[in-house]
Structure 1
Amino acid sequence: MRITTRLALLALALLSYLPAARADEGMWLPLLLKQLNEADMQSKGLKLTAEQIYSVNQGSLKDAVVQFGGGCTGEIISDQGLLLTNHHCGYSQIQQHSSVEKDYLTNGYWAMNQDQELPNPGLTATFIVRMEDVTSQVLAGVPTQGIAEADREKMVQANIARVAQAAVQGTHYESFIRPFYNGNEYYMFVTEVFEDIRLVGAPPSSIGKFGGDTDNWAWPRHTGDFSIFRIYAGPDNKPAAYSKDNKPFKPRHHLPISLNGIKPGDFTLVFGFPGRTNEYLTSWGVDEVYSLSNPAKIKVRDAKLRLLDQDMKASDKVRIQYAAKYASIANYWKKWIGETRGLKKLDAVNRKKEQDAKFIQWAQKGTEAQKAAYGPLLPELEKNYRAVRDYTLARDYVTEAALGIELLAHANSLLPLVDMVEKKAPAADLATAVGKAKKGILGFFRNYSVSTDQKVAAALLPLYADGTPTALLPAYVKNLQKQYTGKTGWTTYVNSLYSKSKLTTEASTQAVLDEVGKGNVQTLADDPAMQLIRAIVTNYRATILPNYTTYTDNITLLQRTYVAGLRQMQTDRKFYPDANSTLRVAYGQVATYEPADGVKYDYYTTLDGIMEKADPTNPDFEVPARLAELYKTKDYGPYAVNGTVPVAFIATNHTTGGNSGSPVINGNGELIGTNFDRNWEGTMSDIMFDPDRVRNITLDVRYMLFVVDKYAGAGHLVKEMTLVGGPNGTATPEASKEVKKMKVKRKEKEKA
């Protein structure tokens, strides 16, 4: 495949947006780096060309980056498909392999040969083969005005399906198309998806989660947040379902690992799949997040986390069952708290109001066409944001509180069976659906504690009932409020609910499903858990969702026009598209930062800091005996610097969720760390970036190597990797042909 002249023309068309954005802000499309970012990146220390970062014609950095599962990033670090990501990204896989007898969460796991590497059904690693602007194809025949947003979206989706299918027809590749700039542009991603991914190594949680929730979203950090997997392929090196006969995948490129370390001002490049940002919201959009949605979700998760924590500490079985779920719930709970604090510090709502005022002024001073297109825009946005507030709140309480109760979420997953029987679906279709449901409940009950969930329900149901606007609460729930009154009312109801429901155990649920398979749905329909969730979901679909959708569709339509107007208004600004789980480049530099008056944080942490935080009475700060022994004897191997081991560092890269596990690469194209977090004060960067406050947190690759080699004794894995530099300035071992090739290509480009 060769880059087309059409792509080059597209890039030239974007040159009007070349003036720099704020320092280090942006999540940039790799295929446009040459035109938009290469010069700026090289001025900050990049020694590579844009084509060495992204190319469809030859191996490049992009060929060492994968989307890991559905929500993280990973990087290839050997020519045998070795994959590095975060410990928290591999956490659910580690948990699935764990039991009380084989507690890999607590003790870690290391495969000492490839036969010991553990398969993970359902886990994928996705490479981007190429990207392409397909805006004209997707918007072909779609009216620009006079059409409802829902109707427009149907036409767009039909075009997307046609274009995406045609792009990969007759190949083993897959493809998807995503909107950019709120639907003003569309890009296609052709992918290669591998499905045989095996667990190779994971440190104990006392390393991989050191600091726990106490340190989460905080700096300084001392977390060894990494896990190692391996991609396997069929005999043709193409994706294949799991088979013992599969072989380690041979990548087009793998990242050499630098032992040379970092210092302030060093160039850093984060290459990954950031999940979601909303940088171009109006003041009403920011206020909705700040004053409405975040506070409600934080309140619900506060209550749930407190109860889960108590039961997990009281039982090893519950701890293992809920480890991954707790981590997932806690992660965004603390993020939302930090985001809200950051937005307050920035006075974000008022700053957005200033931008809104400037936009209105610009629209009114323009041509007649400009006035017509953009003049009424912001008043309409305000009207729709105000109208949707109650529906947004009601939606949040359904998803966070009602469906945050596992029994109700479980019942909701079975609700389609009731509908099928009542609508007299064909017997064969019903049998298939029942079969799928039976398989699904096996996994559910493996990680379910009914006593824990009952406590959660007693806490969350009153939050749901009290937090939902009264007019949007189901009549069924209002009747419960009248029937079960006083301080213990909801607890009394919950005790009755869990004692009478047949959906609280695997055996009784299977028996209910057997009846459904025979066409007898009454037992399931009459179950109190089903009655409650059916009332909530029915009300949600009839009363909340239609109105929520109407107003958010209006906001989507208006926001698309608003972003188009912003790009016309701010011709001196270089715009980047919001994150949407597609491959992006963020670049910056290693830097200290000052989060508050009189407070200044250095740019790195070390093993010394781990030992200073060590506290055997606090599960967040337990230190493994083996690590303490290595510290005592100073047995650090080639990974030491000034008598200790570097653990983590910070830089100014613009990152978000989904960048977890992303490679952090130096100016030479070498891996220097793995991105795993942001500072708490900087989490508002999903909505508003501030270069003084935003820092991404990276695991120093030397700590990863130290743990693998010296702590775990898995030196065979290190031997697979290409290590460059080191204390003596020589390759350790010698730089691979891959590194030499990159240097040759760079020199050739410089001469050209």
Structure 2
Amino acid sequence: MNKKTLVTSLLTIVLLTIGILQSGYKPWEEGMFPLSEIHKVDLKKAGLKISQNEIYNPKGTSLVDALVNVGGCTGSFISNQGLIITNHHCSFSAVQQASTPEHDYLTNGFVAETKEQEIQAKGLTCRITDSYEDVSDRVLGAVAQVTDPASRLKLINDAMKNIALEAEQKDPGIQAEVSEMFIGKSYVLFRYKTIQDVRLVYVPNRQIGEYGGETDNWVWPRHTGDFAFMRAYVAPDGSPAKYAKNNIPYTPKKFLKVNPKGTNEEDFVFILGYPGRTFRHRPAQFIEYQQQYVLPYTSNLYDFQNTTMENAGKKDKATEIKLATRIKRNANVMKNYRGKLQGLKGIDLISQKKTEDAALAKFINGNVDVKARYGSLMEDIDNLYKLINGDAKRDLWLTQIYNSTSLLGISRNINVFKTAMEAQPENQRAAFLTQNKSRLKQFLSAIYDAYDIDVDKKIFKKMLTDASEFSTDQYVSAVNKVIGKSTNKEQAIENFINNAFAKSKLTDTSYVFNTLISSPKTISAYSDEILSFEKDISTQIAQLKPEKDRRDGILNKLMGDYVNVKEKFLKKDFIPDANSTLRLTYGHVRGYWAADATYMHPYTTIKGILEKGTTGNPEFDYPAQIRKLWEAKDFGPFAKKDLNDVPVGLLYNMDTTGGNSGSPIMNAYGELIGVNFDRAYGATINDYAWNESYSRSIGVDIRYVLWVASKIDKANFLLEEMGVKI
């Protein structure tokens, strides 16, 4: 940065700060605001140039109507023909399923120049929020006189299901779901419309869409073109329908206007999206449980799994493609969890929480009325987590075992189906099989799609070896049975796995689909060691369930009380933790000081792609055309003048988490200027704590999206559909 630019930037910051102080406005505010809370936020003071009613209007059309939940991510409509923009990584599994060694869309990308060329995005649906309603009184009214923790939680869950079912019966065109906004405290009924036919329109090649790979994941500066285009289709009469050639593009109530001019530093921006889960209203013991058990165990396990799968992928291209989605998901979680661990230790959040909880306990004991109601709260929380921690290793192992070993997932589906079938009268079993066979086949196919026998055996061995080291009070009965009285645990496990896999016919998909599940007789007659092992696992899980339900019931009540009393103590209402329901967050395009003397500017450019490409890391390889265009300064109308380059990534101080992937970044006028896809490494702890000084989210600048689409992939027809002139 030259001297003139530096002075200008500093002056801007000073003037901004003075303006903020004079107005009394706090420019950054933690919170993923539910629709019900948006009216409490003064976005005009923050910089919004349109009416807040244009963001969410329960009595009319608004920007909220352009939002969709697609495959656990967020997307937004950007044309009246159902065109959706989201992240490359959100389309990854669908692209993988559409790919073959001959048509490797995962590596080479995909552009459908006509609607007829668009490819079915298998496994993806679009869910649109239609309306919401607070039903807390109805849910909690069902347990007003219930004191048993497990019974209380069951009645709450039953009430939530019944309210949703009632809503669906009143309006068969929607799907309903009651979401717990505050654990044990508040509940909201959401009505959704679901579009079942989603198709891939345009996905850039992997060197653009996944540029930087795991090296850059959760890192700033970032140069990833993490975007993809899909299209929503409905039946000719406009109703939701499964994939069919005669379906037509969906016409949304609202679609976002794309602004190809992008943003400048300190511009007001906001996001609408479906953030997954946050845990900011939890006590110190919860953070300790995460830091000591969940985060290290899961990240280390996924590291081992990925190393195993990456080695297997070297065998051939088909295996590499088959395992790609699982590797990507694991790697994302692994790095996120390690970032969280680093962040939790860096800010010593456990100590902070303990200090807060000590102050809360003092408040409880200092007020007669509060003490009468909540006097044992903090001690009860502590005692519960002692129980939870005591079983943590086994609980986490049981949580991961089926996802770790594909053949166990297959076995579970077959055992569950077999039990349900054999519960029918003998003369009705054939009809039961006919009625449910396609669904069973669908579940099994999804697992077999990412199955490799060598990977399965190695990961299975690790899981059994880990369980064999658990203390006697956390034993896994199925593993104990494998080891028996052997003095050599490792050899016993090795022998069991080799014999079980060699004899099992579950490794043969043709046998499973064409013989095993062909009749009730073949299903009932078949047995092997892996099926038996899975049955032992499921039996132990069933035995542990009553105590788990009891603990979950206690936790539900305690966390509701914890939030209630904390709100009394702090004399404020909290924003509910994220729970995959539609939220708003706002802020500004802004850099940050990552470390002493290290300022992170809020824009990256194509120049940075070329610079990283000289490091020799294959994850920084890029299409040769990018360099040719950059050297020719062929930026079209998408350059940022003060950078004399096309901006690739942008940084902002909004409050986001998982599920916000694909969320539209909008400017003060509600226009699309980018697509959210990540957070800086220090912001991985957003799930537990947010702070303006280090919480930064990352998006792909719309100017780079449009430049790549136009200059690299010649998809100008999409720009025309979006109303972007070039």
Per the TM superposition, whether the score is higher than 0.5 is: yes
Mind listing any 5+ residue stretches in structure 1 that lack a counterpart?
1-18, 724-731, 734-752
Moved more, 259-268 or 701-710: 259-268
Take 2:83 and 2:205, find their aligned partners in 1: how far apart are those partners?
20
Q: Does 1:233 align with 2:234?
A: yes
Take 1:423 and 1:174, find their aligned partners in 2: how far apart are those partners?
30
SS of the equivalent of 1:244 reads coil
Q: 1:686-729: per-residue Cα shift (whole Å, max 9, x none)? A: 01112211111111111111111111001000001134xxxxxx
Alignment of 1:345-360 (within 5 A): 345-360=346-361
Take 1:497 and 1:171, find their aligned partners in 2: how far apart are those partners?
47
CA contact (8 A) 2:613 2:621 kept: yes
Take 2:253 and 2:422, find their aligned partners in 1: how far apart are those partners?
54
Q: 1:316-366: per-residue Cα shift (whole Å, max 9, x none)? A: 111100111111111111111111111111111010001111111111122
Q: Does 1:675 align with 2:680?
A: no
The residue that corresponds to 1:164 in the other structure is 164
1:228 Cα deviation after fit:
0.4
One-letter identity of the residue aligned with 2:395: R
1:185 Cα deviation after fit:
1.7
CA contact (8 A) 2:277 2:658 kept: yes
Q: 1:186-209: per-residue Cα shift (whole Å, max 9, x none)? A: 212122211111110101111111
CA contact (8 A) 2:261 2:638 kept: no
1:476 Cα deviation after fit:
3.5
The residue that corresponds to 1:48 in the other structure is 50
The residue that corresponds to 1:273 in the other structure is 274
Determine which of 496, 501, 506 is the counterpart of 1:498.
501
SS of the equivalent of 1:358 reads helix
Mark the CA change 1:703 to 1:484 in structure 2 (over 3 Å): closer, same or farther: farther
1:646 Cα deviation after fit:
0.6
1:57 Cα deviation after fit:
2.2
Mark the CA change 1:146 to 1:453 in structure 2 (over 3 Å): closer, same or farther: closer
The residue that corresponds to 1:704 in the other structure is 705
Q: Does 1:554 align with 2:557?
A: no
Alignment of 1:242-321 (within 5 A): 242-321=243-322
1:638 Cα deviation after fit:
1.1
Q: Does 1:582 align with 2:581?
A: yes
The residue that corresponds to 1:462 in the other structure is 465
Take 1:20 and 1:278, find their aligned partners in 2: how far apart are those partners?
27
The residue that corresponds to 1:608 in the other structure is 607
Alignment of 1:409-488 (within 5 A): 409-420=409-420, 423=423, 426-427=428-429, 428-434=431-437, 436-466=439-469, 468-481=470-483, 482-483=485-486, 485=488
Take 1:462 and 1:557, find their aligned partners in 2: how far apart are those partners?
37
CA contact (8 A) 2:393 2:474 kept: no
Mark the CA change 1:516 to 1:485 in structure 2 (over 3 Å): closer, same or farther: farther
The residue that corresponds to 1:65 in the other structure is 67
The residue that corresponds to 2:343 in the other structure is 342
1:410 Cα deviation after fit:
1.6
Determine which of 506, 512, 516 is the counterpart of 1:513.
516
Take 2:618 and 2:78, find their aligned partners in 1: how far apart are those partners?
32
SS of the equivalent of 1:187 reads strand
The residue that corresponds to 1:727 in the other structure is none
Take 1:479 and 1:249, find their aligned partners in 2: how far apart are those partners?
55
Take 1:515 and 1:241, find their aligned partners in 2: how far apart are those partners?
26
Take 1:171 and 1:298, find their aligned partners in 2: how far apart are those partners?
42
Take 1:332 and 1:190, find their aligned partners in 2: how far apart are those partners?
30
1:552 Cα deviation after fit:
2.6
SS of the equivalent of 2:59 reads coil
Q: 1:588-625: per-residue Cα shift (whole Å, max 9, x none)? A: 11111122233221111111111111159544222123
Take 1:453 and 1:20, find their aligned partners in 2: how far apart are those partners?
56
Take 2:613 and 2:314, find their aligned partners in 1: how far apart are those partners?
19
The residue that corresponds to 1:7 in the other structure is none
Q: 1:89-136: per-residue Cα shift (whole Å, max 9, x none)? A: 011111111000000000000000111111234421111122222223
Take 1:415 and 1:362, find their aligned partners in 2: how far apart are those partners?
53
1:238 Cα deviation after fit:
3.6
1:674 Cα deviation after fit:
0.6
SS of the equivalent of 2:599 reads strand
1:22 Cα deviation after fit:
9.5
The residue that corresponds to 2:9 in the other structure is none
CA contact (8 A) 2:25 2:45 kept: no
One-letter identity of the residue aligned with 1:670: E
Q: 1:132-172: per-residue Cα shift (whole Å, max 9, x none)? A: 222233333431x5422332334334443444344451452
Alignment of 1:669-748 (within 5 A): 669-723=670-724, 732=725
Take 2:487 and 2:114, find their aligned partners in 1: how far apart are those partners?
60
The residue that corresponds to 1:24 in the other structure is 29
Take 2:373 and 2:25, find their aligned partners in 1: how far apart are those partners?
27
Take 1:464 and 1:221, find their aligned partners in 2: how far apart are those partners?
40
Q: 1:203-231: per-residue Cα shift (whole Å, max 9, x none)? A: 11111111111111111111111110011
Mark the CA change 1:681 to 1:503 in structure 2 (over 3 Å): closer, same or farther: same
CA contact (8 A) 1:274 1:579 kept: yes
SS of the equivalent of 1:189 reads strand
One-letter identity of the residue aligned with 2:565: G
Take 1:632 and 1:501, find their aligned partners in 2: how far apart are those partners?
59
CA contact (8 A) 1:474 1:535 kept: no
Mark the CA change 1:619 to 1:358 in structure 2 (over 3 Å): closer, same or farther: same
SS of the equivalent of 1:229 reads strand
CA contact (8 A) 1:202 1:227 kept: yes
Moved more, 89-98 or 429-438: 429-438
Mark the CA change 1:193 to 1:438 in structure 2 (over 3 Å): closer, same or farther: closer
The residue that corresponds to 2:15 in the other structure is none
One-letter identity of the residue aligned with 2:111: W
CA contact (8 A) 2:184 2:559 kept: no
Take 1:432 and 1:485, find their aligned partners in 2: how far apart are those partners?
47
Mark the CA change 1:484 to 1:655 in structure 2 (over 3 Å): closer, same or farther: farther
1:459 Cα deviation after fit:
3.0
SS of the equivalent of 1:74 reads strand
Mark the CA change 1:132 to 1:515 in structure 2 (over 3 Å): closer, same or farther: closer
The residue that corresponds to 2:566 in the other structure is 566
Mark the CA change 1:638 to 1:209 in structure 2 (over 3 Å): closer, same or farther: same
Mark the CA change 1:140 to 1:321 in structure 2 (over 3 Å): closer, same or farther: same
Q: TM-score, normalised by structure 2?
A: 0.91
1:483 Cα deviation after fit:
3.2
The residue that corresponds to 2:17 in the other structure is none
Moved more, 590-599 or 614-623: 614-623
The residue that corresponds to 1:741 in the other structure is none
CA contact (8 A) 2:477 2:537 kept: no
CA contact (8 A) 2:421 2:432 kept: no
1:253 Cα deviation after fit:
1.4
Percent identity between the aligned chains? 32
Take 1:484 and 1:712, find their aligned partners in 2: how far apart are those partners?
62
Take 2:401 and 2:687, find their aligned partners in 1: how far apart are those partners?
24
- For these two proteins, the number of residue pairs brought into alignment is 696
One-letter identity of the residue aligned with 1:508: Y
One-letter identity of the residue aligned with 2:118: E
CA contact (8 A) 2:682 2:695 kept: yes
